[in-house]
Structure 1
Amino acid sequence: MLIFGLGYTASRLAERLREQGWRIDATGSAGNLDFTDVQSVRAAIGHASHILSSVPPSRETGEDDVLTRYGAAVAAAPARWIGYLSSTGVYGDAGGAWVDESAPIGGGRRSARAEADAGWQKLDERVRIFRLPGIYGPGRSALDKVRDGSAHRIDLPGQVFSRIHVTDICRAVEASFDAPPGLYNIGDDRPASHNVVTEHACRLLGIEPPPLQTMDEAGLSPMARGFYAENRRVANGKAKRVLGWKPLYPDYKAGLKSLL
């Protein structure tokens, strides 16, 4: 597999695949390829049986640098599988309603991500797009925020989010190797508010939950405020039906318990 962007999720996928005997080439600070070394990257594209991009759009330009620089090479490659890690942020605000893969995209704050998502859809018929909600796992969960004192509770009744354990993303990607291409929401079975998850993490650690605050009182950054501007539940039925995937951690309680 060639992986563009060996970040939090992709590095864990790479580790799992290496344990199964896969060879992994990857760009990124932890990878073995320099993204700007066009000759080496094109050679890796030509040799890979599987190609995955986990690179989000550039914050500076809004463009998907992988598509811009290597999209044509990926489309022409002999690889039998192409994947892209996208975001459920492409759906925008749904007022707390459930959204599946048929919901329109591009109406929310993640316009660049929606454009990248659409670009990967158009690239090639082999592409699998995994739309991911809030990702958590080892070293990156409500438990860690509670421990380091950065956890907060925001007074926004009715606000709800979906999330997914990083291991379940890896398992979904692996399940897709022998499944049809297309769009897949990869989220757990129990969307919940940020507050509820924080409170449960506090209970597990025996710590009093942080006070309920407004966004102004919490001093949230513009990016964090944007997170609370959207409200939706992500349906995962297609991934279950088509990929034969089932989350190992079906809700935040099971996920956080595994991380204690």
Structure 2
Amino acid sequence: MQVMIFGAGYSGKAIANALKTEAGTISGTTRSEDKFPDLTAAGMAPFLFDGVHLNDDLIAAMGNVTHLVQSIAPGRPGDPLLALLGDDPKRFLPKLEWMAYLSTVGVYGDHNGAWVDEKSPCRPVSTRSVERVAAETAWAAIAEKANVPLSILRLSGIYGPGRNAFMNFEKGTARRLVKKDQVFNRIRVEDIGAALAFLARKNERGIFNVTDDQPCPPQDVVSFAATLMDVEPPPEQAFETADLTPMARSFYGENKRVSNARIRGLGFDFRFPEYRSSLKHLWETGLWRG
């Protein structure tokens, strides 16, 4: 297994860690050479990718890749890597055996708090989720044409070491926003890595929700973190009157409960299936700081 992760950020590093014992090589791209030491420390050979051009070093490395992971968010006019690969990924990836695309549960849009699964209709609300649906469709088309299995991982709100409610308390940014009946799913970053490694080993294709078992109101997570820290939680704030950026406010326009039954049905077990035990683990081990 020769792996390349385009956009080797927070999730990409967790993926590299999950694959380190079975991959012959793991490469990762970043937009800045300043991040090369971080990728090297995470076990990846670093390469520059500016989202516009494939440089000679990157093209040479792509020639040996068997497993491709695309983690870069789309934009306008679309997915930056697809724009360069065209309709034949094997043009630059002749040894390609399997692909993964990291998407978001935002593609489902708003379902008024109802449960959704991979067969549920996509009704994206935000521009970024509309772009994700388009990118999923485009990746599925080139995968079918190239006869290469593609797993699309739809991720819920990502947290873990260095990104969590404890960090928000430390920074003084913790808030308890309350919107009636609003719930969100979450996913611990290590479970993203483990899920992708599981799907890669099985050479799976299709769409998979990678999310926890326990959608809940966001203020409950903040309150539980405060309990673990033995501090007072911030006062509740009504969502309707809270000062939020347009992006932050848009997240509350999508209300749903996301099922992970499909990937569980294949035999995958989440290490952190609900936020309470996960936050307790982060706090007690000290990993919350990253």
> Which TM-score applies when normalising by structure 2?
0.83
1:116 aligns with 2:135: yes
- CA-to-aligned-CA distance 1:152-171 (integer Å, 9 cap, x gap): 11221210011110111111
Given candidates 160, 172, 192, the residue that maps to 1:137 is 160
Equivalent residue runs for 1:182-201 within 5 Å: 182-201=206-225
Distance, in Å, in 2 between the alignment partners of 1:163 and 1:71 is 33
Q: Are positions 1:14 and 2:16 aligned together?
A: yes
Q: For residues 242 and 190 of structure 2, what CA distance do their matches in structure 1 show?
A: 31
SS in 1 for 2:264: helix
Aligned residue in 2 for 1:162: 185
- Give the aligned partner of residue 74 of structure 1: 89
Q: 1: distance between equivalents of 2:119 and 2:240?
A: 36
Tell me the equivalent position of 1:33.
47
Give ranges in structure 2 of 5+ residues lacking alignment: 37-45, 284-290
Q: In 2, are the aligned partners of 1:85 and 1:129 still within 8 Å (CA)?
A: yes
User: Which one is further off, 162-171 or 11-20?
Assistant: 11-20
Q: Which moved more, 1:36-45 or 1:203-212?
A: 36-45
> % of aligned pairs identical?
37
Contact 2:125 2:253 in 1 (8 A): no
Q: Contact 2:143 / 2:150 at 8 angstroms: preserved in 1?
A: yes
- C-alpha RMSD of the superposition: 1.7
Q: Which residue of 1 aligns with 2:273?
A: 250
The answer to whether the 8 A contact 2:18-2:197 is kept is no
Partner SS, residue 120 of structure 2: coil
Q: TM-score, normalised by structure 1?
A: 0.93
Residue of structure 1 equivalent to 2:199: 176
Q: Would the alpha carbon gap of residues 75 and 240 (structure 1) be closer, same or farther in structure 2, given more than 3 Å must change?
A: farther
Aligned to 1:45: 62
Distance of 2:215 and 2:77 partners within structure 1:
29
> What are the equivalent positions in structure 2 for 1:201-216 lying under 5 Å apart?
201-215=225-239
Q: Deviations over 1:79-106 (max 9, x none)?
A: 1110011000011011111110011224
Q: In structure 1, what is the equivalent of residue 287 of structure 2? A: none
Task: Return the alpha-carbon distance in structure 1 between the equivalents of residues 105 and 119 of structure 2.
Answer: 12
The Cα shift of 1:216 comes to: 5.7
Contact 1:45 1:73 in 2 (8 A): no
